[in-house]
Amino acid sequence: MATTMKIPSRELWSYFGYGLGQCFSFGLVGSFINYFYTDVLGISALAASSIFLIARVWDAVHDPLFASFMDTINSRFGKFRHFLLIAPLLITGVTLLSFYKIEADMTTKILYAGVTYILWGTLYAISDIPFWSMSSVMTNDSGERTRAVTAAMLGVNAGIACANIFFPKLAAFFAQYSDDKGYFMAALVMMMVGLPLMINGFVQIKERVPPSPEKVTIRDTFHNLRQNKPLFIILLSFFFCVFHNVANGIYIYF
């Protein structure tokens, strides 16, 4: 009989902290990047919407590709944990680039916005996919896994909330010292707080369960989804989060 693997409280707090720090970035980009594009960088709403559309199409392509690729890799840190070492630096860097106001012609601004936004979504997946996958290898006990996922979800929600609460206040403070309404410096402060939280998560979170060698195909996934109605309902509820994301994206205008 396998020994139950209990997750220490310090590790759960670190898992919470990684989600908190990572979602400073998600909250900033999700809630404020559209306003930054239109009212700070000066590109049109149509151009910004086109960038978002292209990015969503690319997300649908690269997310399953990254997940499949990550499933084939093992390192001395484990199967997923090594991604949590480099991802915090990548996320921090690309978030700051996304909120940097370049001085250039309009075409260059649109290209810059498009490249940095799509790059942000791509690099964010390198962190987010292994972050959630870690809960499956931290313990073999279903109750402990539930505790881990709960800690992660609380960290994610807290990170988004902190971005929505503190970023506007920081931007207002730095606005008097810059010509970008304080956005870059406010993003810098937020990410300098989030970066050590993510790095600490990498240091503290441990993989204890060897991942299953069984490969799950896309066909298997859809088959299981049809058979598992509770899972289908949960995924459907995540789909309706799109309306919450729309609200996050427009509330700054009001």
What CATH number should be reported for the domain holding residue 124? 1.20.1250.20
Number of domains in the chain: 2
DSSP for 40-76 reads II---HHHHHHHHHHHHHHHHHHHHHHHHHHTT--BT
Quote the pTM value. 0.83
Q: Do 109 and 32 have their domain in common?
A: yes
Q: What is the mean pLDDT of the chain?
A: 85
In a domain, 3, yes or no: no
64-84 exposure pattern, b = at least 16 Cβ within 10 A, e = fewer:
eebeeebeeeeeeebbbbbbb
Q: Do 122 and 158 have their domain in common?
A: yes
pLDDT band at 1 (very low <50, low <70, confident <90, very high): very low
Phi, psi of 16 (to 5 degrees): -55, -45
Q: Do 119 and 244 have their domain in common?
A: no
The domain boundary, picked from 173, 188, 208, lies at 208
Reading the block at residue 73, the tokens are 């890799």
Q: Do 156 and 245 have their domain in common?
A: no
For residue 67, pLDDT over 60 is answered with yes
Tens of pLDDT, residue by residue over 156-176, are 999 999 999 999 999 999 999
What's the distance, Cα to Cα, between the start and end of the chain in Å?
58
Q: Do 114 and 221 have their domain in common?
A: no
Reading the block at residue 54, the tokens are 């292209």
Q: Do 153 and 221 have their domain in common?
A: no
User: Which domain covers residue 226, as residue numbers?
Assistant: 217-254
Reading the block at residue 62, the tokens are 């690269």
Q: Do 51 and 80 have their domain in common?
A: yes
In a domain, 2, yes or no: no
**DSSP type of residue 234:** H
Q: Do 185 and 234 have their domain in common?
A: no
Of residues 132 and 88, more confidence is placed in 88
In a domain, 4, yes or no: no
Q: Do 153 and 245 have their domain in common?
A: no
